[in-house]
Structure 1
């Protein structure tokens, strides 16, 4: 089924494959319905996780969306307590690096440590904790695993960020809404060599702003199944409707 997304969505454009790529590539390119913007691959430095340079992350746990996108990796975060079943299923299924959410406002302490250890055992490329996650728990996780620890942040406050770094965080994930690129730049000014990934926003301009500000990788939110089916059903109604 071919999906034609809304014209204002960057998910609607297909990546161009050059003549030389077609000529020398051994495997036939697989066209995915949801293709990431070319500016990410061209302009991002890349975030090194387990010796792999990753530039694009899909923010999703939906297996259909994971299967039908070409992002480098998956950011598996959801507003519920972390689940071993979900962690194992996504790692086994995705065929690409997974960063697993292990804690935030609801989950902390022993449960988060257990989930971090389990994620490492299952083959995750990193774990991520949300803004409210306490530094004392980050320190305990750091003592137990060798995986990169990513912390979502919404502020460039020096003391707050330094506390995260001292606790063992190795990457900041900036999710500041319309202020994301500004926060990225401020963090880079304070911690020039510290790796940053950032939420991309809804258009190419916001993605480019985050890259220009110093983000090494971009997190993309996919369209919902509802939006995808909306465009498909509108086409079907026009074609087959009475």
Structure 2
């Protein structure tokens, strides 16, 4: 018996089931709202920068271009950082193009949180180690652990005294960022205590506080919150900020926008 006769179905046997070329699970154009190109998109900006976008990359957590265009930046270990994304959202951290992450949260600092954020971060991570809710020796201890885990720097909250800045500076080799809300005697003491970077978080008065600190300390690196508009970001940079903290949209906000698109509401 030949191979063809052996593999041929019997005359009275069940007929073979023919599977169509299209699977039930192959999305149609109407169903697949997100269509991705096969190859990465390559372009060049008017500044001469070659840009490559992966087929699955998303522009939704991108830093405003005004920051990179106008900021001088702060160089840490050879990396010039102009934009700091103020977030602890792992999804946003993984998809933003910020130069660094400012991971400060309103709970007692825990090394396991730092480790989780370091796992997804593709850029330098500056993590909060207390100063408000967490005080005393624990701040310096958390800073030491963060340094061992691989954090690029640590952030100490505004209520912490200058002594906490000084103690932490003596125990770690990574930059200590001191958050301030005013240009006052406390800020002066924190600068004298050795804070590597001053982080100005003064709300609507941020640009004014930055200008005041810059006038008294032209050499100190200043990181400052940029607010929600390009006008405020530019005003803060012109006041003397070297780098800007930018708050990206949350993953929940982006998901809501995507679902509205899926429902045909946007």
> In structure 1, what is the equivalent of residue 49 of structure 2?
21
Gaps of 5+ in 2: 1-32, 35-42
SS in 2 for 1:103: coil
SS at match of 1:163: helix
Is structure 2 residue 101 aligned with structure 1 residue 70?
A: no
Instruction: Tell me what 2:143 maps to.
Output: 116
Aligned pairs (5 A) from 1:1-242: 17-18=44-45, 20-22=48-50, 28-30=52-54, 31-33=57-59, 34-157=61-184, 159-238=185-264
Aligned 8 A contact 1:131 1:154 in 2? yes
Shift of 1:236: 2.2
Q: Which has the higher contact order (CA 8 A, sep 6+)?
A: 1
Query: Which has a greater percent of helix?
Result: 1
Q: For the Cα contact (< 8 Å) 1:49–1:126, is it kept in 2?
A: no
Q: How far, CA to CA, are the matches of 1:61 and 1:177 in structure 2?
A: 20
RMSD over aligned CA atoms reads 1.9
Distance in 2, matches of 1:208 and 1:238, equals: 36
How far apart, in 2, do the equivalents of 1:81 and 1:220 lie? 23
C-alpha displacement of 1:237: 2.2
Residues 182-209 of structure 1, C-alpha deviations (whole Å, 9 max, x = no match): 1100111111111101011011111111
CA pair 32-108 structure 1, distance change in 2 beyond 3 A: same
For residues 131 and 186 of structure 1, what CA distance do their matches in structure 2 show?
A: 17
Structure 1 length as normaliser, TM-score?
Answer: 0.85
Q: Displacement, 1:21? A: 3.2
Aligned-residue offset at 1:147: 1.2
CA 216–32 in structure 1, closer or farther in 2 if over 3 Å, else same? farther
Is the contact between residue 114 and residue 127 of structure 2 (CA under 8 Å) also seen in structure 1? yes
Tell me the alpha carbon deviations over residues 112-141 of structure 1, each in whole angstroms, 9 at most, x when there is no partner.
111100111112111110110122222211
Name which of structure 1's ranges 181-190 and 30-39 shifts more when overlaid on structure 2: 30-39
- In structure 1, runs of 5+ residues without a counterpart are 3-15
Q: Distance in 2 between matches of 1:185 and 1:166?
A: 19
Q: 1:92 to 1:234 in 2, by over 3 A?
A: closer
Shift in Å at residue 36 of structure 1? 0.9
